[in-house]
Amino acid sequence: MADNLDYLEESDGSGGSIGLEVEKPEDEIDVPFDPKLIDVTTERKTVDLILKRLKAGELDLSPDFQRRGNLWKESVKSSLIESMLLRIPIPSLYVSEDEDGNYEVVDGLQRLCAIAHFVDVASLNKAVDSTLDPLRLSGLTALSDLDGCSFPELKRPFQRRIEETELTLHVIRSGTPRSVKFNIFSRINRGGLPLKSQEIRNAIYPGKWIGVVRDLAESQSFKRATGGKIKGLRLEDHELVLRFIGHYLLFSVEEERETDQNLDVFLNRLVEERLFDLRDEEWSELKERFYLSMDRCQEFFEGLAFRKYSGPGEPRKPVNKGLFEAESVVMAMLSDSEYRSALRRREEILDRFGDVSNDEESDFHYSMYSATGRGWSSNMRINTLLEIFRD
């Protein structure tokens, strides 16, 4: 079963691929917490009140963790509006509250975008930095005589029916601990187009680190090293950069991850316990090592950087997250003299790397297929590559 993953790429949710090899999923929720720390309230607010928040900038439809707002086709949006006109209840929404009482949408983004597109397109355009035209209803089934109508063209009773529609909001209060918020986000995003772990992380741990990670992910060095294949629609590129930062900070001071540590726990602790307090000079050093690593990976591995071995005539594999993590960290740790020496023995090193990768009995091979996000697996990959390069 593991070998079948060699040829699978992660889907972007709309039939395409994102340029990353499928990584065997872990249990994302495996850290116990005190249930008393959960602080979620349920409120009912009319559409009119929700849109007033949007117009005032108090409802964030394009937070750092959401890159896929306003995805629905106009026919789907029209169907939602028709349901509201027919007084059919709308599924509940989840929002996260900040200290000032403003909301970020956790679940229900497409529904809110559809409503705003129809009722107040100007506020939606401002919120998500778009230039949408007003939505005109189309493809209605029960109210087909309203096809082609925009909101201002509806009779007042229909307008009032939409404005006074009550939506159920589950509000994750601002005082909820971040680790508990991560757990809640993970649990409620199981259907439809669920948030990825990195999207949740960006929502719960806002700060300077997000901008730095975004800049690194959008850099030409990263794009060249990955062959420009990582779409990053769901912040997959952010997570790769964050995995580099976390493991480099450990291994550069000769430390390792906890053996059985879950990847989400590792990255969450990295952000909360290290990156929030990182000084400007430390960020500068990290960025410099990242760019150096990406340039070295491109030069040394050429078109096969971060990819499993492809034999003659075989198609090139997609980017492998575990290999990105290991190769990038090792290249960042090598001194100039070590790297120059490695370049002179490039073929020998690549042969040895290929041997250990393809040896199904080796721990390194196992680390690329089983529990790839666990601490022992990351430690194995990085230490094996370091040994090959420094032997």
Most confident of 14-28, 65-79, 247-261, 315-329: 247-261
Judgement on whether residues 15 and 50 belong to the same structural domain of the protein:
no
So what's the pLDDT on residue 68? 56
Does the pLDDT value for residue 370 go beyond 90? no
Q: Are 238 and 217 in contact (CB under 8 A)?
A: yes
Judgement on whether residues 262 and 337 belong to the same structural domain of the protein:
yes
- 138-161: pLDDT as tens digits: 999 999 999 999 999 999 999 999
Last residue of a domain, one of 132, 153, 188: 188
Judgement on whether residues 345 and 313 belong to the same structural domain of the protein:
yes
Last residue of a domain, one of 132, 154, 188: 188
Q: Are 199 and 234 in contact (CB under 8 A)?
A: yes
DSSP-derived letter for residue 280 is H
So what's the pLDDT on residue 7? 47
Structural domain range at position 299: 2-29+207-390
Judgement on whether residues 25 and 84 belong to the same structural domain of the protein:
no
Q: What percent of the chain has pLDDT over 90?
A: 58
CA-nearest of 90, 94, 124 to 106 is: 94
Judgement on whether residues 336 and 358 belong to the same structural domain of the protein:
yes
So what's the pLDDT on residue 189? 60
Judgement on whether residues 328 and 254 belong to the same structural domain of the protein:
yes
Q: What percent of the chain has pLDDT over 70?
A: 85
C-alpha of 57 from chain center? 24
Domain assignment present for residue 197? The answer is no
Judgement on whether residues 113 and 153 belong to the same structural domain of the protein:
yes
Domain assignment present for residue 249? The answer is yes
CA-nearest of 118, 98, 108 to 61 is: 108
So what's the pLDDT on residue 358? 84
Summarize the confidence of residues 103-120 as an average pLDDT: 91
Q: How many CB atoms lie within 10 A of CB 192?
A: 11
Does the pLDDT value for residue 362 go beyond 90? no
Token pair, residue 107, equals: 């679940």
State residue 261 phi and psi, 5-degree precision. Answer: -70, 130
Token pair, residue 235, equals: 């912040």
So what's the pLDDT on residue 129? 84
Distance between CA 302 and CA 1 in Å, rounded? 29
Q: Are 260 and 31 in contact (CB under 8 A)?
A: no
Domain assignment present for residue 314? The answer is yes
User: In the predicted model, what is the mean pLDDT of the chain?
Assistant: 86
Judgement on whether residues 331 and 315 belong to the same structural domain of the protein:
yes
* CA dihedral sign of residues 119, 123, 128, 132: positive
Model pTM score: 0.67
Most confident of 94-98, 117-121, 177-181: 117-121
Judgement on whether residues 234 and 332 belong to the same structural domain of the protein:
yes
* Structural domains of the chain, count: 2
**Would you place residue 168 in the very low, low, confident or very high pLDDT band (cuts 50, 70, 90)?**
very high
Judgement on whether residues 311 and 229 belong to the same structural domain of the protein:
yes
Distance between CA 160 and CA 43 in Å, rounded? 21
Domain assignment present for residue 200? The answer is no
**Would you place residue 194 in the very low, low, confident or very high pLDDT band (cuts 50, 70, 90)?**
low
Q: Enumerate the H helices of 129-192 as residue ranges.
A: 156-163, 178-188
End-to-end CA distance of the chain: 33
Provide the pairing of β-strand 9-11 with 40-46: unpaired
Q: Is 104 helix (H, G, I), strand (E, B) or coil?
A: strand
Q: Residues near 118 by Cβ (< 8 Å), separated by ≥ 6?
A: 77, 81, 134, 135, 137, 150, 151, 162
Looking at the DSSP bridge assignments, the partners of residue 319 are 20
**Would you place residue 239 in the very low, low, confident or very high pLDDT band (cuts 50, 70, 90)?**
very high
